[in-house]
Amino acid sequence: MKSKQRLHPLVILVLLGKFLKIWIVPIILLIPGLNSVAKLIHFNVWWLVAILIVVVLLFTVLDYLTFSFEIGSASLTIHSGILIKKHTHIPYDRIQSIEHNQWFFFKPFHLEQLTIETASKSDSPEGVLALVPTAVAAQIDAKRTGTSQRATETSIVAADTPHYQINTRELNLYALTSMGVVPLLVALGWLSDKVNEIFPKSWSDALTQTVTGLSILAIIALGVAFVLIGILASYLIILQKYFHFQLSAESTQLTTNRGLFRSVNLSVPKNRIQAVTFKQNIIRQWLKLTTVATISASKREGNDSEAESMTMMPVIQNSDAFSHLTPFLNWLPSQTPILTRLAPQRKWLFIRNALILPVIVAIPLIWFWRPWGWLSLLLLPWAFFQGWYASANTGWSLKSNQLILQKGSWFNRTLVVIPGTNIQSLAVRQSIWMKKTAMAHLRVNLRKGNGNFEMTVRYLPKTVADDIYHWYTSVN
């Protein structure tokens, strides 16, 4: 018999947190405008803020009161909607995976978020229970698999299932070799540009006066301090995100567990894994480390990159990667594949392409902005090495049932292992100039989430591109 259940009342705080996460920056930017409007209508701006808070609280409470779910014998039913009612029925035998998310402050209450996914092609998961007791997930899983069967499977999994857990040294290597400091510094730069809009003019003027009064050495020291703080913040963010990272495999799915402040349990059915990627930034390349992730047709709510690309191993030695992965996905090669590389005379094409834009930018800067425009010439060696790097890291290998492609871009190298049957489309492109040199570009498209993943390898010999195309038509 079905009985309606509500989310835990603490979900109101979760919903408010999600609202603030989305709207806090726009609200801050709107404060000067609200202040101007309030002065025009002779109204206190804080009353406007209070009205906004009341409206948000009202809609949050209504959202909580109008949401309920029923755990039936054959399906899960979710009721939602304030003005437009929505009823979602999810048969247990259609559920492909259940994702668990639990912040540390909800652990004492045994509460977590559940994201339920089926095989449908909708743009978001079919069911999201924002905050429920952990017993609810166990109840749904028992309905889906059968309690006695689940108990038997658990004992088998404990004995025979492949398992990987990151150790402290690997986690520190992964965090220290991350380039996550770059977006943090970009965000800091954006914030500094908006100081005049966000804070009162007297504050920004005082800050400007303080900075201009500093010596050159003090300004350089301040810049170095900001970079070090950014590196430390990036390190700590990654450290807590992948704390106690574990990967396990059952007969039909891969499961990862990770997180210090927020525990995340993520499962991806093996039959929805489209390819496996091996990624290295230039630092990890020097240290012979790689990060392994899946390209999956699974979907999740929001813009989390793990929704479409589940990390299998955050960091592992190049030489060990494939041998450690085959117990989890038996279709992967057991040894590192040997790639065919571009001929040395083709490398100049990548260098030429990389230099075109910097040259176009540098010429007018040098002409119109002397003498500072000469600094734009620093772009040329940077572009040269970008082109050289891209050419040096281009490679391919063709197996009986797999295509292996590698490319380099922005000092990041990506190798992709693709089963032939998972390729959505494959195209060979050749310009009229490339015909004279018998070269072509190869473009491969895979399904990623509900969208597309494109892998393009440039300046292949035309005969190689044609061989890959004929192989693709034969396996599909």
Neighbours of 457 (CB within 10 A): 21
- Alpha carbon distance, N-terminus to C-terminus of the chain: 47
pLDDT of 416 reads 94
Beta bridge partners of 417: 276, 404
The pLDDT of residue 396 is 92
pLDDT of residue 394: 92
Q: Please tell me the predicted confidence (pLDDT) of residue 150.
A: 40
Contacts of residue 283, defined as CB under 8 A and 6 or more positions apart, other chains included, come to 177, 179
Specify the pTM: 0.72
pLDDT < 70 positions in the chain? 1-2, 28, 31-34, 37-38, 42-45, 119-123, 145-160, 180-215, 298-308
**Do 307 and 124 touch, CB atoms closer than 8 A?**
no
Q: How many C-beta neighbours within 10 Å does residue 99 have? A: 24
Q: Strand, helix or coil at 303?
A: coil
pLDDT digit string, tens, across residues 75-133: 888 888 888 888 888 888 778 777 888 888 888 888 888 888 776 656 677 788 888 89
Q: What pLDDT is attached to residue 147?
A: 47
φ and ψ at residue 331, rounded to 5 degrees = -85, -5
User: Which one-letter amino acid corresponds to residue 218?
Assistant: A
User: What's the Cα-to-Cα distance from 353 to each of 100, 214, 458, rounded to whole Å?
Assistant: 46, 42, 11
Nearest-5° angle of CA 387, CA 423, CA 302? 80
